[in-house]
């Protein structure tokens, strides 16, 4: 894996000052990342020469920065076979099964996707930082994108299509526009969300695919990405996700999957389209 990230400077708009520092801030690099670059010798090159964070930049310059100045994500390594869908120097995309947490929790400290990814990446990059682009709930299956560097994380714009089995039948497309509020108790966020005028805007577009006897397979597009958005919105209109342990009638898991994604790769400009099959237990 290349040690330095190469950035061709072709746009200096909206910079307070034409320095490496403000250029990186404009690219949404974190203050911590920039601080670690500053504190790591020979971590920044401008047109092939080592410089510091205050160096002046110009259009058409070539900036190179150390890919991994941050410390590796400190979570327990987990066993488990990853279902890898795509991998290059920027992205690592996997298919997450139902009932696997995306990141560690008290009850899933040694059994989570993040720990599996960290174990897989250990030999490739000892300073690997886990950057999941949009985490999925533990019960939700489907496609998870991991960015291997800050540029990959900041520059991706995912187009997502979810599918779910819903209670009852649906006949025509409709949209749900209901704000979602995260409730806190004693300063700690509750797991369950509620519909409330005090919440953040949330819009879900629903497209029925096929009706069964007591359920409907539906497709979903989101304008916002609130936690539990599809699950809460569908429950609020009387069509909870089948198996939902929080907003519906609990079964082995909620029958919800991020089935399709697409995005333009920021480096190669290639259109990436990925789709996964429904899990076997869906029986549709």
The mean pLDDT values, 10 residues at a time, for the chain of 284 residues are 78 78 88 87 92 91 84 86 95 97 81 94 86 93 95 93 97 97 70 91 98 96 94 97 91 95 95 97 88
In whole angstroms, give the CA distance from residue 139 to residue 102: 10
Q: What is the assigned CATH class of domain 84-156?
A: alpha beta
For residue 57, give the H/E element and its range. Answer: none
Using only C-alpha atoms, the chain has a radius of gyration, in whole angstroms, of 22
Contact (Cβ atoms closer than 8 angstroms) between residue 46 and residue 63: yes
Q: What is the assigned CATH class of domain 160-258?
A: alpha beta
In whole angstroms, give the CA distance from residue 195 to residue 236: 8
**Model pLDDT, residue 86:** 98
**Model pLDDT, residue 190:** 63
Give the pair of three-digit tokens for residue 37: 């670059």
CA separation, residue 99 to residues 96, 137, 252, 254 (Å):
9, 8, 8, 9
Q: How many residues does the chain have?
A: 284
Q: Write down the pTM of the prediction.
A: 0.83
Rama region for 247: left / alpha / beta (φ>0; ψ in -120 to 50; rest): alpha
**Model pLDDT, residue 171:** 94
Listed residue (138, 119, 97) closest to 281, CA to CA: 97
| Residue ranges of the chain assigned to CATH 3.30.2350.10 | 84-156, 160-258
**Model pLDDT, residue 1:** 46
- Vertex 40: Cα angle to 121 and 62 (nearest 5): 85
């Amino acid at each position: 894996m290349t040690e330095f990230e190469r950035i061709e400077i072709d746009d200096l708009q909206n910079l307070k000052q034409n320095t490496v520092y403000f250029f990186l801030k404009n690219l949404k690099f974190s203050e911590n990342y920039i601080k670690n670059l500053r504190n790591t010798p020979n971590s920044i090159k401008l047109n092939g020469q080592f410089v510091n964070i205050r160096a002046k930049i110009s259009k058409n310059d070539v900036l190179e920065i150390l890919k991994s100045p941050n410390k590796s994500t400190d979570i327990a390594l987990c066993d488990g076979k990853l279902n890898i869908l795509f991998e290059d120097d920027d992205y690592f995309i996997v298919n997450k099964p139902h009932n696997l947490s995306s990141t560690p929790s008290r009850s899933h400290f040694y059994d989570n996707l993040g720990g599996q990814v960290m174990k897989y990446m250990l030999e490739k990059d000892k300073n690997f930082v886990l950057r999941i682009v949009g985490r999925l709930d533990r019960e939700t299956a489907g496609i998870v994108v991991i960015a291997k560097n800050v540029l990959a994380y900041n520059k991706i714009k995912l187009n997502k299509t979810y599918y779910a089995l819903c209670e009852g039948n649906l006949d025509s497309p409709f949209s749900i526009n209901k704000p979602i509020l995260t409730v806190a108790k004693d300063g700690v966020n509750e797991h369950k969300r509620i519909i409330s005028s005090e919440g953040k805007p949330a819009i879900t577009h629903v497209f029925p695919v096929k009706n069964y006897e007591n359920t409907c397979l539906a497709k979903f597009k989101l304008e916002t990405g609130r936690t539990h958005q599809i699950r809460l919105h569908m429950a609020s209109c009387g069509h909870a996700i089948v198996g939902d342990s929080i907003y519906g009638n609990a079964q082995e898991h909620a029958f919800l999957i991020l089935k399709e994604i697409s995005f333009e790769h920021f480096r190669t400009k290639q259109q990436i389209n990925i789709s996964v099959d429904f899990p076997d237990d869906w029986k549709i």
